[in-house]
């Protein structure tokens, strides 16, 4: 006698209004920058489902649908593996959220194969010590505000969004005998960063020229808060003035340089990780401790000295 099998549960699709509210609820868990990126990723996938996917609802997709979307991003859009993987991770988290709310019975992204980005070790990804000094001199000669903004990224490794969101009181705190900068970093994590003397002098020069000592630390010409786009223009102007023409310099180039130059300076990798505020030290090693081609500190020198010469 065969035992009766229960009918498999089939979730009911939400209305357009309910689906929009669901997306808003999912995005509300993330900080501003991540929220904007994830919102674009979800709407891009939603549009693809309506056009290339034959009008399928995102909650009706299967793994093969996601894999077809991955091929679309790679072959049609020409997206790099890192961008493709970020979008797949976004969808995976999105579907986990839907799974908890009983909109789906299985996450279609769970076993999707992720792309393996290839690191081009010959590609220049940051400014070295001499270039950083030349770049900062160009920013210094332009204005106190532009120099301080660039210095926070080049010396302390702050992200451009963190720099733009600073208010004057954020840089006037003291802790354990140090003047520090306090702010909310990536993923909403609170951060406290000490100010070396060079940073203190740079920030004081900015604050001295501000009328509002409680508002934004960095402002644009119209008096509004500095934005990421405006900061990017500032960095590119300074790079052009410093005659750096063999790579495209962006705000993240300065953060990347701060981390890589700290490693070159002989600072222990664990301390560099703490400065970069990476949760996993493998990120510091895999992404930033690469492509530096520092022949002076190559392990072969130490090994040759240890083994000694035969002839």
Most confident listed range (119-128, 217-226, 287-296): 217-226
Number of structural domains (the chain) is: 2
Residue 196 lies in a domain: yes
pLDDT tens track for 27-43: 998 877 788 899 999 99
- 211, 68: one domain: no
Judge whether residue 6 has pLDDT over 50.
Answer: no
Residue 65 lies in a domain: yes
Judge whether residue 2 has pLDDT over 50.
Answer: no
What pLDDT shows up at residue 125? 73
- 140, 250: one domain: yes
**Within the chain, how many helices (H) and strands (E) appear?**
13, 3
285 is in which domain, residue-wise? 129-294
Residue 256 lies in a domain: yes
- 145, 281: one domain: yes
- 91, 140: one domain: no
Residue 235 lies in a domain: yes
CATH number of the domain within which 290 lies: 1.10.443.10
Mean pLDDT of 127-135: 92
Residue 117 lies in a domain: no
Mean pLDDT of 220-240: 94
12 pLDDT band (50/70/90 cuts)? Answer: confident
Residue 35 lies in a domain: yes
- 134, 234: one domain: yes
Mean pLDDT of 71-89: 90
- 137, 256: one domain: yes
- 82, 141: one domain: no
- 94, 136: one domain: no
Tokens 């790099």 identify what position? 80
More confident residue, 294 or 249: 249
Residue 231 lies in a domain: yes
- 168, 265: one domain: yes
Q: What would the DSSP string read from start to end of the chain?
A: -PPP-PPPP-PPPPPHHHHHHHHHHHHTTS-HHHHHHHHHHHHHHHHHHHHTTTT--GGG--HHHHHHHHHIIIIIS---HHHHHHHHHHHHHHHHHHHHTTS-SS-TTTTPPPP-PPP-TTS--S--HHHHHHHHHHHHHH-HHHHHHHHHHHHH---HHHHHT-BGGGGSEEETTEEEEEEE-GGG-EEEEE--HHHHHHHHHHHHT-S-SSSBSSB-TTSSBP-HHHHHHHHHHHHHHTT--SS---HHHHHHHHHHHHHHTT--HHHHHHHHT-SSHHHIIIIISSS---GGG-HHHHHHHHH----
pTM of the model: 0.67
Residue 184 lies in a domain: yes
Judge whether residue 88 has pLDDT over 80.
Answer: yes
């Amino acid at each position: 006698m065969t035992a009766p099998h229960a009918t498999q549960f089939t979730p009911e699709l939400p209305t357009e209004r309910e689906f929009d509210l669901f997306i808003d609820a999912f995005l509300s868990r993330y900080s501003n920058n991540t929220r904007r990126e994830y919102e674009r990723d979800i709407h891009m996938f939603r549009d693809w489902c309506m056009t290339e996917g034959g009008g399928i609802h995102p909650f009706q997709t299967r793994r093969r649908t996601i894999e077809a979307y991955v091929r679309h991003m790679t072959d049609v859009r020409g997206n790099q593996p890192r961008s493709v993987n970020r979008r797949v991770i976004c969808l995976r988290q999105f579907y986990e959220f839907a799974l908890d709310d009983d909109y789906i019975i299985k996450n279609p992204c769970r076993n999707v194969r992720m792309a393996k980005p290839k690191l081009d070790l010959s590609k220049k990804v940051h400014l070295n010590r001499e270039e950083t000094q030349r770049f900062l001199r160009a920013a210094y000669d332009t204005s106190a505000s532009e120099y301080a903004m660039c210095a926070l990224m080049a010396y302390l490794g702050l992200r451009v969004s963190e720099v733009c969101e600073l208010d004057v009181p954020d840089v006037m705190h003291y802790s354990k005998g140090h003047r520090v900068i306090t702010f909310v970093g990536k993923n909403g994590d609170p951060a406290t960063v000490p100010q070396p003397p060079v940073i203190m002098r740079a920030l004081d020069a900015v604050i001295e020229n501000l009328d509002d000592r409680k508002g934004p630390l960095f402002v644009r010409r119209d008096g509004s808060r500095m934005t990421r786009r405006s900061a990017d223009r500032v960095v590119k102007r300074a790079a052009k003035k410093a005659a750096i023409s063999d790579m495209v310099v962006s705000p993240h180039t300065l953060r990347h340089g701060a981390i890589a130059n700290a490693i070159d300076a002989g600072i222990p990798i664990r301390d560099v990780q703490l400065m970069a505020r990476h949760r996993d030290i493998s990120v510091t090693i895999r992404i930033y401790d690469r492509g530096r081609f520092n022949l002076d500190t190559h392990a072969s020198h130490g090994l040759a000295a240890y083994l000694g010469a035969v002839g």
